[in-house]
Amino acid sequence: MLATTRRVNCEKCGNHTVNEVAKTLTPATHGQGGEFLVQLSCEGCGHRQRFWRYTPRLSLK
């Protein structure tokens, strides 16, 4: 399973201490959109969140 990690701002404490891990459940193709499981974990205040993110299908060019 593909996973990408980046650092984002925390919506609770406002610090730039959140690790965002996005795991690809369904990669986006020309036929269907992508589905990702996103997990947020703040090192500053311990805030955690988990949600699903959807991306539109790839556009044909």
The string of DSSP codes covering 1-61 is --EEEEEE--TTT--S-EEEEEEEEE---SSS-EEEEEEEEETTT--EEEEEEEEPPPPP-
Query: Is residue 13 involved in binding Zn ion (CB under 5 A)?
Result: yes
CB of 43 to Zn ion, least distance (A): 8
CB of 15 to Zn ion, least distance (A): 6
Name which of 17 and 24 has its Cβ closer to Zn ion: 17
Footprint of Zn ion on 30-49 (CB under 5 A) = 42, 44-45, 47
